[in-house]
């Protein structure tokens, strides 16, 4: 009797061993799923196209994102829906668990990045910002403002300055820089059309493009929101009177690389298509990317008789209706400038 019992116990233990191991594995898998990822800060994780769960396990192990990654294939076998991961670039955050990661990869909600285009900047500056944007498909290599039009499907002689709306744009790692510019261009087209249709009556513009050009000049002349409509009124009044606009930012745009932080009398006398001290009317294209406030100012200028303005030395401007008053304001500005310069 005792011999029979002694023989049965090893057999029972042997029979129960697979079941015990299965229970142990199930417990390990269940503990693995809610385990936090090894993250101290946000991290970008890219899952290449065609990666299966075995490849995902290798990525997690190589990038030291999770412990005991050997349980990942078993977790996915236990919960097959977690195997339906989508390739892409994702943002992982501290506190996320392995299950959170898998659910994120299954959802396909890729990381969003942002790029900011600032009003008043030129197209060449925006192209530099685009070229440095991380996690973006760069298909505008070596493109210049002069060659961008062809890349975007425009005629070879197209100058696209001013045609893109300044704002912050979100993108994923699958977005190209040309796609961002197309989006910004469409935004500007819609904004300009809306403002053009609601513009004040009697303005000396024949096309929306001329309003856009005026808005770019206003954008470069003042950063003070309350001044924009008044600055626009000066240029509108000068156009109506047949006077040259005589605005320095257009001169600077025309001489471009030859400008060295201060405008000279020689610059004012240098003939370019943009030198409004020489040409009549508006320059041929915008000189920067205007924002909404400058577009509205160009479409709804203040009603005034001002023909001149000069910096007041405090960030704003002094406006004048006649040359004598303007010259006096210029002398006052120069005197104040000289005093500050001598004290520095």
How much is the average pLDDT of 309-337? Answer: 86
Q: What residue has token string 């000279």?
A: 264
Whole-number Å distance between alpha carbons of 170 and 115: 7
Question: Which segments of the chain are extended strands (E)?
Answer: 43-47, 88-92, 113-116, 168-171, 308-311, 317-320
pLDDT band at 332, cuts 50/70/90?
confident
* pLDDT on residue 305: 95
pLDDT score recorded for residue 25: 54
DSSP state of 77: H
pLDDT-derived band of residue 16, with 50, 70 and 90 as boundaries? very low
**219: helix, strand or coil:** helix
| Cα separations in angstroms, 71 against 32, 68, 82, 147, 254 | 7, 6, 13, 53, 65
Spatial neighbors of 138 by CB under 8 A, at least 6 apart, are 130, 131, 176, 177
What number of other Cβ atoms are within 10 A of residue 288's Cβ? 24
Distance separating the N- and C-terminal Cα atoms of the chain: 110
**In this predicted model, what pLDDT tens digit does every residue of 228-286 receive, in sequence order?**
999 999 999 999 999 999 999 999 999 887 666 778 888 889 899 999 999 999 999 99
Mean of pLDDT over the chain: 88
Q: How confident is the model at residue 337 (pLDDT cuts 50, 70, 90)?
A: low
Which domains occur in the chain, in start order? 29-107 (3.30.1490.480), 114-190 (no CATH), 201-343 (no CATH)
Rounded Cα distance, 93 and 44, in Å: 9
The closest alpha carbon to 51, from 43, 42, 60, 64, belongs to 60
Distance from chain centroid for Cα 37: 31
Q: How confident is the model at residue 344 (pLDDT cuts 50, 70, 90)?
A: very low
pLDDT in tens, 63-113: 999 888 877 888 888 888 888 899 999 999 999 999 999 999 999 999 999
Q: Residue 14: pLDDT band by 50, 70, 90 thresholds?
A: very low
CA angle 152/157/159 to nearest 5° reads: 65
What is the Cα–Cα distance from 185 to 279, expressed in whole angstroms?
28
The pLDDT, as a whole number, for residue 21 is 45
The pLDDT-based confidence of 22 (bands split at 50, 70, 90) is: very low
Q: What is the DSSP string of 150-170?
A: HHTT--TT---TT-S--SEEE
Residue 5 pLDDT > 80 = no
d(CA 319, CA 331): 14
Q: Over the stretch 36-62, which tens digit does the pLDDT of each residue have? A: 999 999 999 999 998 887 889 899 989
pLDDT digits (tens, 9 = 90+) for 168-195: 999 999 899 999 999 999 999 999 999 9
């Amino acid at each position: 009797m005792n011999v029979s019992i002694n023989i049965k116990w090893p057999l029972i233990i042997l029979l129960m061993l697979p079941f015990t191991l299965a229970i142990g594995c199930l417990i390990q898998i269940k503990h693995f799923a809610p385990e936090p990822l090894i993250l101290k800060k946000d991290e970008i994780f890219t899952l290449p196209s065609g990666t299966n769960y075995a490849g995902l396990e290798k990525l997690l192990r190589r990038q030291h994102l999770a412990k005991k990654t050997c349980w990942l294939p078993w977790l996915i076998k236990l919960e097959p829906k977690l195997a339906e991961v989508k390739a892409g670039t994702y943002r992982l955050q501290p506190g996320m668990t392995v299950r959170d990661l898998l659910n994120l990869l299954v959802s396909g909600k890729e990381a969003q990045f942002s790029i900011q285009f600032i009003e008043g900047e030129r197209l060449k500056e925006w192209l530099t910002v685009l070229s440095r944007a991380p996690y973006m498909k760069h298909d505008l290599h070596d493109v210049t403002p002069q060659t961008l039009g062809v890349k975007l499907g425009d005629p070879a002689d197209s100058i696209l300055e001013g045609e893109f709306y300044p704002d912050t744009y979100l993108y994923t790692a699958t977005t190209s820089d040309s796609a961002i510019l197309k989006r910004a261009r469409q935004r500007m087209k819609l904004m300009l059309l809306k403002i053009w249709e609601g513009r004040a009556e009697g303005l000396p513009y024949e096309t929306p493009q001329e309003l856009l050009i005026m808005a770019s000049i206003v954008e470069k002349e003042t950063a003070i929101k309350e001044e924009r409509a008044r600055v626009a009124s000066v240029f509108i009044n000068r156009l109506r009177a047949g006077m040259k606009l005589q605005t320095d930012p257009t001169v600077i745009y025309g001489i471009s690389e030859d400008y060295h932080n201060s405008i000279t009398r020689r610059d004012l006398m240098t003939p370019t298509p943009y030198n409004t001290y020489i040409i009549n009317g508006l320059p041929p294209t915008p000189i920067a990317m205007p924002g909404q406030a400058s577009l509205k100012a160009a479409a709804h200028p203040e009603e005034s008789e001002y023909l001149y303005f000069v910096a007041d030395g405090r960030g704003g401007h002094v406006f004048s209706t006649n040359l004598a008053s303007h010259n006096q304001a210029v002398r006052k500005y120069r005197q104040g400038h000289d005093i500050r310069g001598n004290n520095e």
